[in-house]
Structure 1
C-alpha cells in the first residue's frame, strides 16, 4: 500500500481515496485498486477501477455481474457506479489483504509448501463451487489472488471477457497475464471452466516458484502432476476443479464430492453459456484459512495499521484558510 500518485483519482463515487492498495504496479492486473473511506469515516472500502487500456464498458458489465454473485472465495462487490462523468467502479468492504505477488515479496521468495498446498485446495474449492453454478471466473492470475487471514479471495472477475469479445485474439491485451491465459482463450475462445483450471495451475506454479511457467523439475513434488495436468494445451485433458481439490486435499473426499457437478448443476452450466454470470442457486461452503508464513502475517498487520491510521484528505477549499 502507498500514497496516491498524481494521476490517481482522489474520489471514487462518494468515497475519498486513502491509498493505493497495490504498493507496486501489478502490470498484469485488470484492475486499479484503492483503499477508500466514506465521508463520515464509518466505512472503509476496497474500490476498483479498470486499468488503462481495458474497455470500460465491458469491465463495468463484469463488475455488475460480480455484484450479483455470492460465491465464497470471490471478492464481494457491494456497490457499482460510474457514468458519463466518471469511469466505472465497484467497491466492497475492505479487509487486510495482500495480492499474491506482494505476499511473495513480503516473504522474500516462493511460499512454503504447506501454504501452497492449502492455497491450491482453497482456490480449487472456490472454482469448483463456481463451476457447479455454471460460472467461470475468467480472470484468475497471481495479481487476482488476495491473501487474507480468513483465506484467499479472487478479484478481477471476468477479466478475460472484459479484455475482448469472443472471437477476438486476446494474447498481449492489457489486463491479462499471458502465463495464466489458456491457449483457447488467447485465441478468442469463450471463457469456460477449463480455462480457470489452466490459470489455477499457473498461479500455483507462481506461488511455488515465483513464475507462472516453470520447468517441471522446479516444482515441489506434490505439484508436478497437478500443475502439469492443469497446463495441458488441450482443455479436455485438464482436470476439473473438484478433481484438483481431491488431489491437493486427499483427506477431504467429502468436500470434493460435494463440489462435483450434479444433474441440476449441469443444467445450470448449460444455461449459463448464453450469460456472462449466473446467480447462485444453492448455498456453498465458506472459505478456509491457509497457513500463512509469519512474514506475510506481519505484512497484513502492517497494512491494517496503516489503514486504521489513515486520515481522510482535507478538501482543497479548506487548506486555503
Structure 2
C-alpha cells in the first residue's frame, strides 16, 4: 500500500481512491491498482484502471472477460464500468500483497515450503482454467496477490490487452519480459503452455528474487521443474496439471513434510507477510475519506 501520487485519479467510478496497491518501482504491472472505498464508507475495493500508455478498449474487453469468469484462485472482478477512454473494474478488497511486495516484506527469497505450496496452488488454479478453455495470459510476479485466504491471480488477459495477435509484444510497457513466453512475445496467440512458462518465471522469482535466474541460482528442490516450465519450445513444457503432480509428489516425499499438499487449504504465510498484511489492513481501516468541498 503506497500513498497516492498527484496524477492518480481521486475516484474510480463512484468510489473514492485511498491508496496505491503497487510501489512506484514496480514497472511491469499492466494496470494501475488502487484501494478504494464507496462514497458511503461501507465497502472497500481493489480498483484497477489501465495504464496511461495502454489501449483502453482492449483493456476493457479483458476486464469484462474477467468479470464473467468464476474460477477459484482468480481475482473475482465484480464491477466493470467507466468510459471508452477510461474504463475501470473493481474486486472486493481483502488485504493483499503483490508477490514483489511479499519478497520485500520477507527480506528476500521465500522459504522452500512456501514456494512449493504457492506453486501447487497456482498450478491447480491454472489447470482448472485450462480445463475450461481459459488461458490467463497475464501471469507474472505482480499478478500474484498473496492473501490470508490464498493466492489470487489478477491482471487477467494482460498479454491479449497489450497487443493483438500477430504483433510483437516484446518490450511493451506493463509486460514483464521475464514472464512472457517467447511465442507470445513474438505475437503468438496466448495459449495454456504460455501460462506454464509464466508460472515457471513466478516460481523462479519467489525462490530467487529474479524471473530469469542462472540455473545454479535455483534451489535444487525446484530447479528441474522451473527449467522445464521455462523451455523455449512450448511442446517441451509440462501441462499445468503435470506441474501440480510433480510438486505434490516432491512434497509428499520431503523429509519435513509427510503428506501431499492440500491445495484447497489456504497457504500458511510466513510471519513477515502476516505482519505486512496486518499493517495494510490497519492503514485501510484508518484511512479517512476526503472531506467534500463546500457547495457555493
Verify same fold: TM over 0.5.
Answer: yes
Moved more, 18-27 or 300-309: 18-27
Question: Structure 2: 5+ residue runs without aligned partners?
Answer: 253-261
Residue matched to 2:273:
296
Query: How far does the alpha carbon of each residue in 1:225-266 deviate from its partner, in whole angstroms, 9 at most, with x for none?
Result: 11000000110110000000011112899xxxxxxxxxxxxx
Match of 1:310 among 279, 284, 287: 287
Residue matched to 1:161:
160
Residue matched to 1:39:
39
Deviation at 1:26, TM superposition (A): 1.7
Residue matched to 2:241:
242
Query: How far does the alpha carbon of each residue in 1:47-71 deviate from its partner, in whole angstroms, 9 at most, with x for none?
Result: 0001121111000000000000001
State the distance in 2 between where 1:50 and 1:123 align.
24
Across the aligned residues of Structure 1 and Structure 2, the Cα RMSD in angstroms comes to: 1.7
Deviation at 1:88, TM superposition (A): 0.5
| Map 1:203-214 → 2, pairs under 5 A | 203-214=202-213
TM-score normalised according to structure 2 size:
0.94
State the distance in 2 between where 1:26 and 1:287 align.
30
Structure 2 residue 154 is matched with structure 1 residue 177: no
Count of equivalent residues: 287
State the distance in 1 between where 2:100 and 2:212 align.
15
Q: 1:252 to 1:93 in 2, by over 3 A?
A: same
State the distance in 2 between where 1:247 and 1:194 align.
16
SS in 2 for 1:222: coil
Question: Structure 1: 5+ residue runs without aligned partners?
Answer: 254-284
| Map 1:30-69 → 2, pairs under 5 A | 30-69=30-69
Residue pair 1:73, 1:287 contacting (<8 A) in 2 also: no
State the distance in 2 between where 1:200 and 1:305 align.
31
Residue matched to 1:280:
none
Residue matched to 1:230:
229
